[in-house]
Amino acid sequence: MELQNQEIILGVTGGIAIHKSLDLASQLVKRGASVHVVMTEHATRLVQPMQFQVISRNPVLLDLFNSGSDWKPVHIDLADRANLLAIVPATANIVGKMANGIADDALSTVAVSVHCPILIAPAMNGYMYQNPFVQANLQKLREHDIEIVEPASGALACGYEGVGRLNEVDVILERMTQILTTPKDLQGKRVVVTAGPTREYLDPVRFISNRSSGKMGYAVAEAAHRRGATVILISGPATAEPPTGVELRNVETALEMQEAILDVFDQTDIVVMAAAVADYRPQAFSHQKIKKTTDQLTIPLEKNPDIAQSLGQRKAHQITVGFAAETSDLLENAQRKLVAKNLDLIAANDVLAEGAGFEGDTNIVTLIDHAGNCQQLPLLSKRDVAHRILDRVVAMMQSGN
């Protein structure tokens, strides 16, 4: 009964995948949630409201002018009680209305009245889904922190193959549960996360860099945002998609990253350094492209500043977390870095291990704290690793060390 005491508004629009919404309503009730269904008129042409009423065990809201006997308008009452509004399936129509603040029926009015998180699971024909206006509307929703369960690819009800199928009920349920059960224990905290590789330029077109995708740091930034923190993400040129809801500051070189972090460090509570900062940069920068003249070319390198170490010297109230990407003697090296950089916690990972390290969506890390406690985590998604790290940070803040 993991959703006990959760009040969920389930918005249902007229997509052909509506039958999955019946299943979703039933799963939510089984998990203990109180489910209040709001249907659009088109949805009622596909499924009788009575089906949702019986499954959800609550009246179904269809019309703002013909519902309830209370003095309080029913959409406001629902909106005030809700912990989550989930719209499954979400048609191009509701997406467009939400992106433009249109409230011309019960569901779109509920959508502008709620003050809880919103999740939508779009489902439509592939051409409709790819339509630039639909995509622009979805992007607008994303930027306003609306969680979108992206549609899957496959055979569509309209006879086409492609993207647009409503995602699986299990996936939607999992995302809803995550939203409802993530603690807001970083509310009011300012978190800075560094992520991605740095680029150290030799000349205007060439640089030294590394394989970091930015995924681990982005996962930490997103997790901190979900837990209520105000997040600044200082990122090198990463390949991963940056999370929404955080302030992104793009940098390229280690020196730029250092400047960006020093700029905010004093007003920060927690710093998580997941960036793969280049240890060395070319000693000289050639303003012209270096010519292919000699058989061999030697490029002298000089040391970059160790950002984590300089923060370690400067830190006052901040909790600092670092990463140790190693290929040998994992724990010894990580422990040494924890001390040298005056970190509170270090996440050590063997980047050569299967399922760990760069580019992938999973990681295997061991968390070591300043008291020497070692916690070996199993293979987890980078998202789960991020939450485990933040769990430890929150525990440290609560215990005052």
**Residues tagged active-site:** 158
Residue 139, CB half-sphere, CA atoms under 13 Å: how many?
8
Instruction: Tell me the window of 34-42, 47-55, 275-283, 361-369 that interacts with ligand C5P (CB under 6 A).
Output: 275-283
Determine which residue in the list 275, 319, 386, 393 makes contact with ligand C5P, applying CB under 6 A: 275
Residue nearer to ligand C5P on the CB measure, 230 or 304:
304
Site membership for ligand C5P, residue 28 (CB under 6 A):
no
Q: How far is the CB of 254 from ligand C5P (least distance, A)?
A: 5
Q: Could you say which of 304, 318, 349, 363 contacts ligand C5P (CB under 6 A)?
A: 304
Interface with ligand C5P (CB under 6 A), residue from 7, 185, 306, 384: 306
273 scored as a contact of ligand C5P (CB under 6 A):
yes
Q: Which is nearer to ligand C5P, 91 or 194 (CB)?
A: 194
Residues 325-354 that bind ligand C5P (CB under 6 A): 337
Classify 211 as helix, strand or coil: coil
Q: Is 254 in the site for ligand C5P (CB under 6 A)?
A: yes
Q: Is 337 helix (H, G, I), strand (E, B) or coil?
A: helix
Binding residue for ligand C5P (CB under 6 A) from 111, 231, 308, 319?
308
How far from 182 is each of 31, 170, 176, 177, CA to CA, in Å? 16, 18, 10, 8
CA distance 12 to 38: 6
Residue 52 or 323: the one with the smaller Cβ distance to ligand C5P is 323
| Terminal Cα distance for the chain, rounded | 35
The nearer residue to ligand C5P, 207 or 323, going by C-beta atoms, is 323
Q: Which span sits near ligand C5P by CB under 6 A: 34-42, 164-172, 220-228, 272-280?
A: 272-280
In 3D, which of 133, 135, 79, 143 has the Cα closest to residue 107? 79
Alpha carbon distance 270, 186 (integer Å): 10
Q: Is 282 in the site for ligand C5P (CB under 6 A)?
A: no
Given 197, 312, 322, 357, the residue binding ligand C5P (CB under 6 A): 322
Q: How many residues bind ligand C5P (CB under 6 A)?
A: 14
Relative to beta strand 301-303, strand 280-282 is antiparallel
CB environment 122-141: b (16+ within 10 A), e (fewer): bbbbbebbeeeebeebbeeb
The site string for ligand C5P over 173-202 (x = CB under 6 A, - otherwise) reads ---------------------x--------
Strands 366-369 and 362-363: unpaired
- Residue tagged 């950002």 (tokens): 307
| CB contact set of 199 (below 8 Å; sequence gap of 6+) | 207, 208, 209, 236, 237, 252, 253, 278
Does 307 contact ligand C5P by CB under 6 A? yes
Closest C-alpha to 210, from 363, 359, 362: 359
Q: How far is the CB of 159 from ligand C5P (least distance, A)?
A: 51
92 CB-near residues (< 8 Å, 6+ apart): 122, 124, 128, 129, 131, 134, 137
Give whichever of 122 and 236 is closer to ligand C5P, judged by the CB atom. Answer: 236
**Footprint on this chain of ligand C5P (rule: CB under 6 A):** 194, 254, 273, 275, 277, 279, 304, 306-308, 322-324, 337
